[in-house]
Each structure stands twice: as structure tokens, then as C-alpha cells.
Amino acid sequence: MLQIAYIRENQEQVVKALAKRNLDATEMIQKVIDLDEQRRATQVELDNILAESNKLSKEIGDLMRNGEKSKAEILKEKTAKLKDKTADLKERLNTFTDELTNQLYQIPNTPAAIVPEGKTPEDNLTVFEQGEIPVLAEGSLPHWELAKKYDIIDFELGAKITGAGFPVYKGKGAKLQRALISYFLDKNTNAGYNEVQVPHLINEASGYGTGQLPDKEGQMYHAVADDLYLIPTAEVPVTNLYRDVILNESELPICNTAYTPCFRREAGSYGAHVRGLNRLHQFDKVEIVRIEHPEKSYEALDGMVEHVKEILNELKLPYRILRLCGGDMGFTSALTYDFEVFSTAQDRWLEISSVSCFETFQANRLKLRFKGKDGKTQLAHTLNGSSLALPRVLAGILENYQTPEGIVIPDVLKPYCGFDIIN
């Protein structure tokens, strides 16, 4: 969440920045300012009363030692009244603090200066495009029909076991899926990312820490009996490794990568655009997460973009990179680049990665800080990116690499697969 001190000192700039998200935050920000003033005033009053109580306690001790018990009893009556007032002020302070925190949770991150204006995905800015779109032979098929033809993904079987959006990968389809995971992890670890394995369930504090709660609770699977959530992305548990942690500046940057299944309810998603692998409730993804010094986070973001580009270049898939406009950015992001691969058989672009810098937005929730060389403690910057999400990458490979003889495996994946073609 945004830092209250920053909002207090830059009220107009914050409202103006959030307008880029097509959000009139005037009332929200004013409510934050008002609650903060009430909280601070209550804190000052409480501190004064506590100081007075401490002073009286010392005086009572002195009087008792000097045998002036009657005077001490008079002061004890005063301290009793102050205790009642202290309890009331503490309750009021907790109320103002909770209300302020809840209000701050409702406010999205302020976009970076280079985020383009816009309301919808059509307003996103294409900043890079690579690869030639292949010309497919007559009779070429979309990936869901290829999956059935070669018996590599069974959507109906998954629907029987669980429901729509939970496919079963079979034979060479399962091996190709595993090959992609291994390839992505190897690329990331070779680039300096440390591989971690993390839980696939998180508690509420972790959801709040990275901003999935309270913004996206309707899209997360909730195990109510244990009050745990299935993760929507590895970003959540990996970033929460550093919740309530104070790092040394010398430890930065911290670079982690993880493979996990991801679970999303995708409520309200219907139509032809969600067919097959296009949108699932359970899917595999390899994630990269960085914790950076604030002065180096955007340089790190550029490096993450180049890293994902290298992977897609090796897979030889046609892709483009979009800088998301204010209206299409995620709640927690300050700047996001989306990668899209072209699905030739569907004649459309499919999002396969988002790479984002959150600045201090997540770190403030997480209380993720570092101690600088000057001994002062400050919030770190967090970043994350898909490297990569598998379903649409797999869809792109199946569709773009299909031939009359079968689906050719990209050269870079052949050592991982152990076969050259799906036929």
C-alpha cells in the first residue's frame, strides 16, 4: 500500500497519479488524511496522559516513602481516572488505526511516469515486436483440436474429475509440459536466480502482503475450514519469504525463481476466447521475483524484460511486448510490461507473461526493509515476472509448430523432451 507519510506530503500528486488509472481518488485520499489526523491527535493525547500517569506514579512512590500516605491516596484517585481515560484512548486509537489501514488497502499503486494514458487493453502501447508469424498449411487446427487429435491433453477427462478448466496432460503432452518447466527453471537459474520450492497454500497475512487481498479474494480459491488460500501465482509465497524481514543492503538484490501450479477461479470468464488452454482454473507457471534497492529497481525491470525476450527468442515464437496503460494495470503495479505470443491458428495474441515493478507498494504491506550503509532503514522495491506461464506458451507451440506430419518440437526443447515431433 502507499505510505501514509507520502500521501500526507503529496496529496495532490497522488490524486493526479491515480487519475491515470481512471480513478477519482479525491474522497479516498481525503478520508486517509482525515483518519491519519485523528489517529495522530489521539496518539498525542494518549502519550501526554501516559506521561502524566508516569509522573504521578513517581510522586506517589516518593510520598509513600516519606510517610505521606493521605497525599498519596489523593494522587492514586487521579491515576485511576487517568487509567480509564487511557483505556478509552487506546480503544479509539485502535479504531482509527484499523480504519486507516483498511482505507489504505483500498487504494491502488500510483503508476510510474512512463505509464501511458488509457482505459482498456486497446490503449496499451506496443514497445517491441519480434518473430515472423508462420504461414500454416491448409486445414491447420487450433490447439484444442490438436490436443484431441494427438491425444496429448484431455479437457473432458479433467472436467469429469474436477470441472472445466482443469485439463489432464497425457503422454507427449505431459512430457512437453515438464520439459518447458525444466527449461524455464534452467534459464532462470543460469541467469542468477535461486530456485525455491514454496507452499501452494497461503494464509491471509500472505495474501495481504502482496496485494491479492482484499483486491482479488473473489478470484482465489479459499479453503474455508483452515482459512487458507490456493495460490494464484508463485509471486505470493516467494515474496512473502521476506515478510517482516530487515535485510542488509549488501544482500541486495535477492533473485528467486519457483515453479508452482497456480489456481484462479476466473469468475465471469466465458466465450470462445477462453477455449482450450486460453484460460484455466489450474495451470503451471515458473516465476521470477526480485527484491531490489529503490535506485536500481527499474534497471532490474529492464533486465527481466530482456531475460523473458531471450527465452521467447530461443523458442522462436512470434511475440510482442506491451507497456500497459493506466486503466489496464494490476492493482499493485507501478509499471507492467505484458508479453503476448501470436497464436496463428486462432489468429490472435495471447498473453504469456507480465513483468512488473511494484516500487514500495508491496514492501510497505510486507514490512520488507533493508538497512543502508548509513545505518538507516528503508523499504525495498519488489518486482516479479512470469518466466513463463505454460498454458498459452504450450498453445503457441502446438499451433505455430504444427505441420502435416505432426507438431515439431522447438530445437531448444528437444534435449528436455527426448523426442522431436508429436505425431
DSSP reduced 3-state for 288: strand
β-pairing, 348-357 vs 335-343, is antiparallel
Q: What is the DSSP letter of 193?
A: P
**217 known member of a binding site:** no
**351 known member of a binding site:** yes
**333 known member of a binding site:** no
- DSSP string spanning 97-147? HHHHHHHHHTSPPPPPTTPPP-SSGGGPEEEEEESPPP-PPTT---HHHHH
Edge to edge, what strands does the sheet with 319-323 contain?
125-130, 319-323, 335-343, 348-357, 381-389, 282-292, 254-263, 194-195
**266 known member of a binding site:** yes
What does the radius of gyration of the chain's CA atoms come to, in whole angstroms?
27
**348 known member of a binding site:** no
DSSP reduced 3-state for 82: helix
What sign for the dihedral angle of Cα 143, 144, 149, 150? Answer: positive
**Considering only CA atoms, which of 248, 307, 246, 258 is closest in space to residue 286?**
258
DSSP H or E run through 202? strand 201-202
**Considering only CA atoms, which of 32, 34, 29, 27 is closest in space to residue 13?**
29
**39 known member of a binding site:** no
**354 known member of a binding site:** yes
**384 known member of a binding site:** yes
**233 known member of a binding site:** yes
First to last CA, the chain: 51
**53 known member of a binding site:** no
Per DSSP, helices labelled H in 368-421 are 390-400, 414-417
**Considering only CA atoms, which of 107, 105, 84 is closest in space to residue 14?**
107
Binding residues: 233, 264-266, 287, 351-354, 384
Binding residues for L-serine: 233, 264, 287, 384
Binding residues for ATP: 264-266, 351-354
